[in-house]
Amino acid sequence: MLSRTLSIPVLLAAAVGAPYVATNTPNVGQLWDTPPNGTTQSGVTPAIKSSSVPPAPPQGPSVPAYSKTTPLEGIRNMSLPEIFRFNLDREWVYRRWARKSTGLADLGLYGIRVPLVSGTQLDDLAGSLTYYFDAVGRLQRISFRGNTGDTTQLVLLLTQTYGLQRQSAPIAGEQLFQLRRGQHVTSELRTRPAPVLRATTPHESFAVEVELQRPGATTPLARKTPTLPTAEPEPSPPATEVAQEDKVIEPEQGDKKKVGKEKWDALFPRSRVPKGQVNSLEKRDRFW
């Protein structure tokens, strides 16, 4: 048996330590059941939450428009036959450009204007591209204003595919291709060299204007306001005719008073003026 002196400290230690161990000891059964390396019982590692995960794209009526981000100038490396074709719809345009200008002024047509950079080759186009759709969503006209470094591919496409023909241009250095229906022009291509050709900007060597209508269209293009012709100076008459014409001779300084008096007498003859008024008129330069 333990002595009385040893039993008292042992009892005090048990009274203090037993409750502490009971409240702070981990659940051994739970630790035993937990698989190593932080995996679950099914063997799948739980996903780690991270703030770098991109948010979900916005949802709306045109969800495909948010499927991927496109630059403002549209998808790069677009071929010219892909741009100038008439089997397109408005959704095709909306998906390929991030910014569009809509509702352009044209009676009966709905216009969508987009910035175009088709690529980085010399024959690529850069400028403003407009698609015009009718009331049922059918593409009727394609318009382009911009620049290129080589017009060969564009000319071949519009002449071979849409039948534009070379016309005489009123400006030297300009190329003009048109599609005509009688006296009316239905499609047109104009190219002209830049006023200043720079080796640092070869893609801006030519200015390009395209007005292309659907094949079979009969609506003529709006005519541009012609430049007013410069008035030619009238030819000078021969010297013999000048000699025969009456010449107006300005009176000299000394004869101005005489000429003025003759004009006054012709307007008011002295025979019709009382003598007293005539004397007063003759004395008008005198001081009384």
E strand spans, 124-267: 125-133, 139-148, 165-167, 175-181, 184-193, 206-213
Q: How far apart are CA 170 and CA 149, in angstroms?
A: 22
- Say how many CA atoms lie within 13 Å of 7 toward its Cβ: 4
Looking at residue 260, its amino acid is: G
Looking at residue 271, its amino acid is: S
Per-residue pLDDT of the chain (288 residues; tens, 9 = 90+): 555 666 666 666 666 666 665 565 555 455 445 555 555 555 555 554 444 555 655 555 555 544 555 555 556 678 999 999 999 999 999 999 988 998 776 778 999 999 999 989 999 999 999 999 998 999 999 999 999 999 999 999 999 999 999 999 888 889 999 999 888 999 999 999 998 888 888 989 999 999 999 998 888 888 764 444 445 556 666 655 555 555 555 555 556 556 666 666 666 566 666 666 767 666 655 554
Q: How far apart are CA 164 and CA 157, in angstroms?
A: 9
- Say how many CA atoms lie within 13 Å of 229 toward its Cβ: 3
Distances from the Cα of 107 to the Cαs of 96, 103, 134, 228, in angstroms? 26, 10, 10, 28
Q: What is the pTM of this model?
A: 0.55
Q: How far apart are CA 72 and CA 75, in angstroms?
A: 9
Distances from the Cα of 272 to the Cαs of 118, 255, 266, 276, in angstroms? 94, 26, 11, 12
Name which of 146, 158, 80 is nearest 115 in CA terms: 146
Kindly write down the DSSP assignment for every residue of 64-114, as one continuous string.
GGGSS---TT-SSS--HHHHS-SS--HHHHHHH-S--EE--S-TT-EEEEE
